[in-house]
Chains A and B, each alone.
Chain A
Amino acid sequence: MEKQKQKPSKPIKEILWFSLFSTSIKLLLLPSYRSTDFEVHRNWLATTHSLPLSHWYSDTTSQWTLDYPPFFAYFELFLSFIAAQIDPAIVNLHEGLNYKADSVIYFQRITVIVSDLILHYAIYRITRNLDSTKRRLIWILVIWSPALLIVDHMHFQYNGFLLGFLLISISALIEGRDLMGGFFFAVLLCFKHLFAVAAPVYFVYLLRHYCRGGLFKGFGRLLLMGLAVVVVFVAAFWPFVYHNQMLQVIHRMFPFGRGLCHAFWAPNFWVFYIMADKLLAFFLRRMGFNVQRPAGSFTSGLVGDSSPFAVLPQITPLVTFIMVLLAISPCLFKAWKNPQPRKVARWITYAYSCGFLFGWHVHEKATLHFLIPLAINAVDSINDARHYFLLSIVSCYSLFPLLFETREYPIKVTLLLLHCVLMWFGFSSYFSGETTTNSNKHLQKKNYEDISDKGKLGVGVGVGWLCKSYLLGLVAVEIWGQFLHTLFFGNKLPFLPLMLVSVYSALGIMYSWIWQLKWIILSS
């Protein structure tokens, strides 16, 4: 009864409020630090604006060459027309190099803010039929996500609207509109191919859920879906095929020469692998074995061609590819056996977690790929909430090294603290008050007693001592990195604090991966 009553509340007005609210904060954050990604995207604006399409993927005027798929290039082309109106220097390929006037920074920041509207629409679409508190909590997790604010609006990238496309696709799948879901996923892939990690899940799910109903109908639907995807890809890649640029495009999009890990190690499985290699090499040397020192070193932050391991077997892109596929396979199996729309969001996010943990040259920013879609299911049960609480803190924390200047330090800390506090109060109120919202009037008397049991209210989302001590450890790692390290070691071992951050965060992300895997295997 209560639920029916709650439905007529106007979510459109409210989502507008949430969206505008976050926009004001984003506007305030405009003058924060200028990362190199500004120049990357400015160069793409200039490239697409001043060169013919056939040269987009072969131009080397700037070191920041275009390495996203064509839709993103078209998107930059579209933006470049506005940019040229505002300040022609922005789109000047040669004279615009390292151009950092206010005009270009403001323009670029504002494009990110505006493109976020797609994300806001997507999250509205996906939550519009949920009960109001749940809906609001999810909005808070996504629209006010500190990780997104840090990556998109302080560091500068366009993840918001890409995730928006992903969420639109997921919401279509949940509603059972598979064709639309597949179409939007294809569009997303043509914007940023890193999202392709979930493609196997999409493939299996759509094959089993959409292409069914007998051989004839199933085949017809397979053709239809194939057509939709092909149309999208043709729209994206045809001009490049026409100009005989396809190989160049693919070469740019998959730069395997970049090495296993990024300069700052993303907190994934390979961190443990590297650590194990280092320790083994150290002990073997101690025991008198002759272990050769590898040519490049991970700790120097070198982005090299090979992955220099001293003892353990070398890792090639193929190995990582197989490992990702293996890690995804349980959910492929589940999706094959019983393709359920209500689980598809979890399968997709699980695939992204696998890609993050075992992938080749993963950026720490890729945590967003599973952090944001996971929010959809974060309030489903108390265990989900506990898991999300831990995961979102860890992954937001692992993004801290992105903003390394002193000025942004208090901002990122406050963002994370506020997020923790909001999640804590939101989850614990929601799960301790759930009985009341679902109750009807006959049961209210009993619920009075439930609610008056203050103890229950307080520990609504008890997170367990292990999680608590892990989070406390996070604080310790941060304090070590910020203050104690220089106190004890001075300028020696400068890589140690960052290494600690990624190793320690990797523990949390591994836990989250295992938790998701367990959920997928155990759920029926």
Chain B
Amino acid sequence: MGNKKERKVIIVDQNDNNPWWWLVNKGLGASFLCISLFALLVRLAVSLHPYSGAGNPPKFGDFEAQRHWMEITINLPVKEWYRNSTANDLSYWGLDYPPLTAYQSYVHGIFLKSFLPESVSLFTSRGYESYLGKLLMRWTVLSSDVLVFLPAVFYFVISYSASRPHRHKSEIAWLMAMILLNPCLILIDHGHFQFNCISLGLTIGAVAAIISSRELVACALFTLALSHKQMSAYFAPAFFSHLLGRCLRRRNPFLEVSKLALIVMGTFALVWWPYLHSKEAFLEVLARLAPFERGIYEDYVANFWCTTSVLIKWKKLFNTSSLKLISLAATLSTCLPSMIQQIKDPSNKGFLYALLNSSFSFYLFSFQVHEKSILLPLLPASLLALEEPLVFRWLIHFGLFSMFPLLCRDQLVLAYIALFSLFYLLFYAPRKKDSGKIRSFFTLKLLITTLLVFCSFVLHIVYLAMNPPKRYPFLFEAIIMLVSFTQFVWLALYTNKKQWMLQKQSTWVEKEKKLL
């Protein structure tokens, strides 16, 4: 019986005149191979472009920060990595990510040292820039992407397609392309220069493990993600509530929870081992990870605090410690609904929505958010691309838009344009004629969407071509921020509603089943 079904699928495939059947009929592995090779090509091409702070002393940019960490980690003993000393001036790009980042810098530092020792020598390599240096640094990101992000996405796609057998192969291939060719991630990692692919890859791995019901693996992977970049905490509420919800449905909830807790503690202990011998050492690292002194927001990030600061001067009204509490309360209260939903009714689909919602609330309301943090909501949105194509498209559009000033500063405008168009082309790739997958959730508001897209288009040009009025030098940044913020809020409200509707739908279906 099963065989017959498969055969039918193949026939339907070709009769439907699917433009990609020749690629997808070879199976998931084949399409993954093609798409990931293409994704690698795009990353390689983007890495030809400038990085942040190129030729811009004295502080340079993120590129120099990462290089500096390599320099510090290979030249100093582990215990001094996070400690201010004569050899380690923390005010100059001090290490402010958890230990896994430091280990990764160490490994990459060794790699650099073996080819180009002067690029990571202590003190003398500050601000080191050269053709080969850039190349080797670029390759460290590329290799991390290939070793962590690609396998994680493959794992996710396999478990996703196993849990949704009705999905067509070409739809799955499209999903792969959407996740792997996320323009924001590529621009930040391979253009601007960061290692988000590692922590996001680990998170995708954890999500895939949850979908394929391997909770213990998921816990370990997510803990690793947290120990690579503390920003992964944006997803923590979703993981916590989903796993709790699952455990509560088991025969022995307490045992299940403690098993997971044990794994989490164990992984943490392993990664943080060098800093666990004394309370001071541990707190020293923690203090580096939470730079509260940098204020509630920086630059022009499209979140609540920064946008409303146009009207309400938060920094003047409250001191830092009370702002900390206010932002914490705001963040937690906004992600509470989605957490409750997952505890009440944990499901794979709901979990993906919960990831999106909790990362949205962190992006919009938490303390010290950077514009690059939009990558975190983008990750679950890309995983949901088949369910919510329009949400994904909208988020990519305005996510990219909100980073436009940053990428302009990095001289990545060309790569930005190319990746923007590449994304839209892939999104609207030729597909089977009858697949009306993309439903408009704005049906009646088509006018507004086109208006907004047009508006962002005009703003791009204005930002590039015009000088802002002297009285408001950051006027355009502020407008971009405002537009993006309204869209993010709108999307967050929509996805929250969607997550709650899921439960109603499923209970409704269940009731129907019972009646039948």
Interface residues of A (CB under 8 A from B): 2, 5-6, 9, 13-14, 17, 20-21, 23-25, 27-32, 132-133, 136-137, 406-407, 410-411, 414-415, 417-418, 421-422, 425-426, 428-430, 433, 436-437, 444, 447-448, 451-452, 457
Contact = CB atoms under 8 A, between A and B. Distances in A.
B236 to A, nearest CB: 35
Nearest to A132: B17
B337 interface: no
Given A17-B430, A24-B422, A433-B22, A414 B41 contact: yes
Given A407-B131, A448-B7, A20 B421 contact: yes
A303 B25 CA distance: 51
A452 B421 contact: no
B42 A28 contact: yes
A223 B154 CA distance: 64
B100 interface: no
A189 B25 CA distance: 44
A433 B14 contact: yes
A373 to B, nearest CB: 22
B197 interface: no
A24 B414 CA distance: 10
Nearest to B429: A17
Q: Which 7 A-B pairs have the closest CB atoms?
A: A429-B22, A28-B45, A27-B418, A24-B422, A418-B37, A31-B48, A28-B418
Contacts of B42: 25, 28
5 contacts: A136-B19, A421-B30, A433-B14, A436-B14, A437-B14
B11 A429 contact: no
Contacts of A429: 21-23, 25-26
Contacts of B430: 13-14, 17
Contacts, number: 117
Contacts of B422: 21, 24-25, 28
Contacts of B433: 9
A23 to B, nearest CB: 8
B202 interface: no
A442 to B, nearest CB: 14
Interface residues of B, number: 44
A103 to B, nearest CB: 13
Contact of B425 (A24, A133, A425, A426): A24
B489 to A, nearest CB: 31
Contacts of A14: 19, 430
A430 B23 CA distance: 10
B408 interface: no
B417 interface: yes
A136 B17 CA distance: 12
Contacts of B417: 27
B7 A418 contact: no
A13 B19 CA distance: 12
Contacts of A13: 430
A411 B40 CA distance: 9
Nearest to B25: A429
Interface of B: prevailing SS: helix
B425 A17 contact: yes
Nearest to B15: A2
Contacts of A447: 11
B414 A410 contact: no
A29 B421 contact: no
Contacts of A418: 34, 37-38, 41
A20 B426 CA distance: 11
A17 to B, nearest CB: 6
Nearest to B40: A414
B482 interface: no
Contact of A406 (B14, B41, B132): B132
Contacts of A24: 418-419, 421-422, 425
A14 B425 CA distance: 11
Contact of A421 (B11, B37, B142, B429): B37
Contact of B10 (A28, A31, A451): A451
A32 B48 CA distance: 6
B41 A415 contact: yes
Contacts of A417: 37
A9 B418 contact: no
B415 interface: yes
B271 interface: no
A426 B41 CA distance: 19
Nearest to A30: B414
B11 A444 contact: yes
A425 B132 contact: no
Given A132-B17, A407-B135, A430-B22, 7 more contacts: A14-B430, A24-B421, A28-B48, A421-B34, A433-B21, A433-B25, A451-B7
A132 B425 CA distance: 19
Contacts of B46: 28
B502 interface: no
B33 interface: yes
Most chain A beta-carbon contacts within 10 A, residue among B40, B48, B139: B48
B112 to A, nearest CB: 15
B22 A425 contact: yes
B41 A411 contact: yes
Contact of A25 (B21, B40, B41): B41
B44 interface: yes
Contacts of B132: 406
B49 interface: yes
A136 B19 CA distance: 8
Given A28-B418, A29-B48, A452-B7, A425 B14 contact: no
